[in-house]
């Protein structure tokens, strides 16, 4: 089944205002949003969850760790390069992105624990061992951050799964990061 990457004009009418919002927010219409426009509820949910995740207690590095941990684990050919570019725009140290993409050690223990906790939640369907939880808490994280990781995973499930179904083409600004 082939999915259409909708434009603002070709999208269902209820998706058009959502796509206008995407263009205003990103300065372009991301192909992911064009695909999601086929199901207006998905696009609206994705936009809302994205903005909610941006408003969490995580800084730019931590947001990147959660996003890219899930993207890499899900092997998302669209989101890994897109979030590499986004991390650059957010001025996240390239060493963090390189480590996440190559599945190697992150530069700080705190970011490594965030990565391992996110990975465990993805792999174990939301379950953590006592040891994993203790390591997370030892780095200064708490209940709020655990639940915020769930929010970030939710966002990435929407995008990663959509991209797998649609084989979404990577946007031109992010093609250098494929």
Output the CA angle 103-120-96, nearest 5 degrees.
35
Residue 151 tokens read as 């929010």
C-beta separation of 3 from 148 below 8 A: no
pLDDT, position 40: 98
Residue 124 tokens read as 């174990």
- Element at 129 (helix H, strand E): none
59 backbone dihedrals φ, ψ, rounded to 5°: -85, 180
pLDDT, position 173: 96
Interval 86-142: pLDDT, tens: 999 999 999 999 999 999 999 999 999 999 999 999 999 999 999 999 999 999 999
Average pLDDT (66-72) is 98
pLDDT, position 96: 98
Three-state secondary structure string covering 81-101:
HHHHHHHHHCCCCHHHHHHHH
Average pLDDT (146-152) is 98
pLDDT, position 13: 97
Classify 105 as helix, strand or coil: coil
pLDDT, position 115: 98
User: Class for domain 16-177, per CATH?
Assistant: mainly alpha
Q: What is the DSSP letter of 5?
A: -
């Amino acid at each position: 089944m082939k999915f259409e990457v909708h434009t603002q004009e070709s999208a269902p009418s209820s998706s058009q205002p959502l796509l206008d919002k995407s263009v205003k927010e990103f300065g372009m219409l991301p192909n992911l949003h064009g695909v999601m426009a086929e199901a207006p509820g998905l696009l609206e949910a994705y936009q809302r969850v994205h903005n909610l995740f941006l408003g969490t207690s995580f800084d730019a590095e931590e947001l990147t760790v959660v996003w890219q941990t899930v993207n890499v684990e899900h092997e998302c050919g669209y989101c890994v390069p897109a979030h590499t570019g986004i991390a650059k725009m957010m001025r996240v140290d390239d060493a963090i992105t390189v480590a996440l993409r190559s599945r190697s050690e992150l530069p700080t223990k705190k970011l490594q624990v965030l990565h391992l906790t996110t990975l465990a939640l993805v792999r174990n369907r939301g379950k953590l061992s006592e040891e994993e939880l203790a390591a997370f808490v030892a780095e200064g994280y708490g209940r709020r951050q655990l639940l915020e990781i769930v929010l970030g995973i939710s966002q990435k499930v929407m995008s990663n799964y959509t991209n797998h179904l649609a084989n979404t083409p990577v946007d031109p600004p992010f093609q250098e990061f494929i």
